[in-house]
Amino acid sequence: MAINQFPVPKGEFETTCMSFVRSDSAPYKQCGPGERNQMNQATSYLDLSVAYGSTEEDTSRIVDQTTVKATRDEKLFGVDGISRWMTTELGFHADRFIADSMRNKLFETRPGNGFDLAAVDIQRGRDHGIPSYNAFRKFCGLKPAGLINSGPFGLPDHDPEAAKLLSTIYKHPDDIDLMAGGISEINMKDALVGPTFGCLMGLQLMYSRVGDRFFYENEFLPTGFTPG
């Protein structure tokens, strides 16, 4: 049964739905007891398993066993390749708009089989039960919206055009997805995101630092690093 599916324009995408199993765990190797492993795909785990794999066999394919370093294509990822990319590709403005290559051609290998990153991110949030944009506004101590407009009781950190566009999709401010509401906010001064994403990113970085037993300012004995 399809739940929370987005309508897909006919003729534009081959794939009309996407399986969301981002939190599924994989059985341990040889089915014995051990640490919990994730599926070998994009996951909610904060690691590079999508690149390096979830097993020793997968990792051995891209890691040089002599130097214990990941192998790479120097032509593409070496100094020359990175320098060429930095000097020829122009950066985009940090705003609510998403590049067409990400919005319509994500992971595309042939015309029509790509994905829409914005739709995937919104659906991913619903799949994990992430609260609404308004709920996170309250969580961050910011004023929640009572109406979907840019007026006194509306969306205080959105310009009139963004608020009008959101009103064509959502019926009530509490319905606005975090991804849609956060990315469409007006950026804070000298920042690349608005107040809501700024709050959440700041908290996430702080929690990652405080909870990291190897962070140099944390004295988590006996598992952390000792003073040098």
Sequence ranges of the domains in the chain? 8-15+73-130, 131-228
Instruction: Note the pTM of the prediction, 2 decimals.
Output: 0.64
Phi-psi label, residue 168: left if phi above 0, alpha if psi -120 to 50, beta otherwise? alpha
Point out which residues pair with 106 in neighbouring strands: 115
- Say if residues 20 and 127 touch (Cβ distance below 8 Å): yes
Q: What are the pLDDT tens digits along the chain (228 aa)?
A: 444 455 566 666 676 666 554 555 655 656 666 666 555 444 455 555 555 565 677 666 666 666 656 565 555 556 777 777 778 877 777 777 888 888 888 877 777 778 888 888 888 888 888 999 999 999 999 999 999 988 888 999 999 999 999 999 999 999 999 999 999 999 999 999 999 999 999 999 888 888 877 777 777 777 667 666
